Amino acid sequence: MYKIIVAVSEYPVRQALKSFLEINSYSVVEANNGAIAIECFIKSTPAAVILDLKIPDISALQILHKMRELNADTPVILLVSNDEIDTAIEALGNGAYDYFHKPPDIERLIYILSRCIESKESLKKAKTKTTSMLMGHLGSGKNVKTTIEGIETAANTRIPVNIQGESGTGKSLIARLIHNCDTSVRGPFIQFDIGSASRGNRSVSTRIDKLFKQAAGGTIYFKGLQDISMTAQSNLISAVTQLDDTGEDVRIIASFPVNHKVRSNEKQLEQTYGKEAFTDWLVIKVPPLVKRIEDIPFLASKFIAEIADELGIPAREITKDAIKLLSRYPWPGNLRELKNAIKRAMLTSYGYFLKSEHFYFLQSGKSDIPLLSLKEEKARAVKDTECRAILNALDMTSGHKSMAAEVLGISRKTLWEKLKEYNVMA
């Protein structure tokens, strides 16, 4: 049963509305002044509000503003007199859902009420679905929830977005998620590496101008700003803002890496671009991995599945001891370093589990996780698959090596050599 606040000072009108609403299966909370209306709004979490513009003690516009501040999704329907039309129109501009002349047409009021509640519920379900999807990409830790809220806000607006975070925190993923969460998007997602472009021969400003035309209805994501001079960065931001004012329907996103030793975005960005540079930009801050320790089990499992799919090798199960080790490590390279560490562990170990000893390079203090070439990755993948096949064959034959060699289609000598090569005790 949906709860409706009826904020009307006149008792007969309030009681009449209450009766009609209850007949139509609504639960009614009464308020005869503005203070009580706001108190009821805070305590009762209503599905909608019916608010008389002539309510005493607080102006209806102030009440509307407060309710929108507390929960912008709750529809507010106004009751107005003939001399209050201008105020009602102003209220619509400030977020009111609709208005009715007094006395209201009850049947139409009930219809509008049901429609606005259905709309609210649909939006709520859509938002829940979007939030679940984002948590499936980013995790559900408390420090990443603000980032998720920022993505949802950015997806519903076209104002420029400033993604701030250390190198390796996943700013490119955040930019693409903003684009993907926009249900009204009709254009492409274009990622433009300004650092690489600035090293070419073509005019960067000319290319950006063309990008705006190519990205009509979509998103342009500028990355690599750390690779150009501060003056060039400032000029670029200014140029992008001017182009954005030309009327092209393009969402602008730019990311700003921050030195992990600084752990502060505002001061560095202010020194680089000036205090007013991002006044009209929506800022989304991406926390470093050391601030998201609770997400490491989720991220580790996610990366294991991704790496297994990328390399065509079986996935592993990571042990609790390995998770404890990963949770203690400082991760100066953030998500990128975590994924590379997991990839290295998967490619240099055998068995069904990823254990803490497989991350020996972290325990020894070697924080640089080298990337393997495609040839090296393929070789590791072949060895990994071969080792698993041998272990499976030994399991099937209860450790009988001659039978295992026959199952594998190799000689007993070759099997012995493989067991020695992979350091497998059987």
Domain harbouring 352, CATH code:
1.10.8.60
CB within 8 A of 16, min separation 6: which ones?
none
CA distance 355 to 375: 25
d(CA 328, CA 361): 14
Which pLDDT value is given to residue 337?
Answer: 92
- 46 with 23, same domain: the answer is yes
* 46-76: pLDDT as tens digits: 989 999 888 888 888 888 888 888 887 888 9
- Interatomic CA distance for residues 356 and 363, integer angstroms: 9
Angle at the Cα of 170 (from 169 to 174), degrees rounded to 5? 130
Phi, psi of 222, deg, nearest 5: -95, 125
Domain hosting residue 21, numbered range: 3-123
Per-residue pLDDT reduced to its tens digit, 264-283: 444 555 555 554 555 567 88
Other beta carbons within 10 Å of 158? 14
Phi–psi pair at 163, nearest 5 degrees: -95, 115
* Distance in angstroms (rounded) separating the CA atoms of residues 425 and 58: 80
CATH of residue 401's domain is 1.10.10.60
Q: Are 97 and 77 contacting, i.e. CB atoms less than 8 angstroms apart?
A: yes
DSSP state letter for 358: G
Domain end, chosen from 348, 371, 394, is at 371
**Where does a domain end: 123, 148, 167?**
123
Q: How many CA atoms lie within 13 A of 268 on its CB side?
A: 14
* Closest by CA position to 328, among listed 304, 359, 358, 286: 359
**pLDDT tens digit sequence for 164-194:** 888 889 999 999 999 998 888 888 999 888 7
DSSP character at residue 290: G
How many structural domains compose the chain? 4
Find tokens 């519920």 and name the residue: 121
Indicate the residue type of 406.
E
Pair 321, 344 in one domain? yes
> What is the pTM assigned to this prediction?
0.60
Domain end, chosen from 371, 400, 417, is at: 371
Predicted pLDDT at 226: 64
Length of the chain (residues):
426
